Amino acid sequence: MTSVFTWRDESGAPCVVIRDALDKDGMSNIIRECKDKVYRGSHVLPDGTLEYDNNVPRNSDVFFFSDKNLYDVVMAYVMTANFEAGWRYDIVDSEQFQFTVYDGKKKQHYDWHTDGQCDHWNKRQSITWHKPEHINLRYTPQANLLDTVRKISVSIVLNDNYEGGSLWFRTLDDKSDLKEVEVKPRAGDMIVFPSFIDHKVSPVTKGIRYSIVAWFGGPPFK
């Protein structure tokens, strides 16, 4: 399957859009394997800790998993996007992938946020024991992610049969004024963007939105 790279979505969103990055059978397999294993997702606070209170910006269910074949596919796209967009970030590796569920019956969503702190002071330290759903972003069990920060984020939508659930970005227009732009990915589309960019998932109003989220880290920005 030939995928199409688009630097900046037609809406003007600051992201790389990769059409048809995953095929239908692969997406169905991921949903089938992961959907019954999810638990309540958390929200990352500025100090790197996690918040589960019902009043925080996030309401979604998640499951962390590893898949070597999927990793190879996603990593190849990320490295190409990193080059084609002109970011040229120094990338080391990714964290475990996150399978994410937004259920329309619960109006699940994730309000404006960034994917962790990207500065030198928040680079990761070692931790030997953890559960993926309870790990402070200043720590990692992965030796190759020591002293790294999140640099590139990835969102892959796995289905179409839901309403709402758009991915929104905050960016600057031609006059350097802040604006909000909406991206409506199709099933199989991969959205790649710098982790420090403000974004959100609007409430799902009908059906269930399934997606994969991934974060790729590297040395802190200088």
Give the pLDDT confidence score for residue 73 in this predicted structure. Answer: 95
Give the pLDDT confidence score for residue 222 in this predicted structure. Answer: 78
Per DSSP, 131 falls in state -
Contact present, 60 and 102 (Cβ < 8 Å): yes
CB neighbour list of residue 2: distance below 8 Å, 6 or more residues apart: 20
- Distance of alpha carbon 77 from alpha carbon 189, whole angstroms: 11
Give the pLDDT confidence score for residue 57 in this predicted structure. Answer: 76
Give the pLDDT confidence score for residue 7 in this predicted structure. Answer: 53
Residue of 214, 63, 51, 220 whose CA lies nearest to 132: 63
Contact present, 119 and 149 (Cβ < 8 Å): yes
Provide the greatest CA pair distance for the chain: 48
Give how far Cα 197 sits from Cα of 150, 151, 173, Å: 11, 10, 14
Give the pLDDT confidence score for residue 145 in this predicted structure. Answer: 79
State the fold for domain 4-218.
Answer: Jelly Rolls (2.60.120)
Which residue is associated with the tokens 């993926």?
A: 132
219 — phi, psi (to 5°)?
Answer: -60, 150
pLDDT tens sequence for the chain (222 residues):
345 555 555 667 889 999 999 999 999 999 999 999 998 766 555 555 555 555 567 789 999 999 999 999 999 999 999 998 889 999 999 988 999 999 999 999 999 988 876 665 567 666 665 555 555 666 566 777 778 888 999 999 999 999 999 999 998 877 778 889 999 889 999 999 999 999 999 999 999 999 999 999 998 887
Domain ranges of the chain: 4-218
Quote the pTM value: 0.85
**Helix, strand, or coil (residue 153):** strand
Give the pLDDT confidence score for residue 186 in this predicted structure. Answer: 92
Which residue is associated with the tokens 């990207």?
A: 118
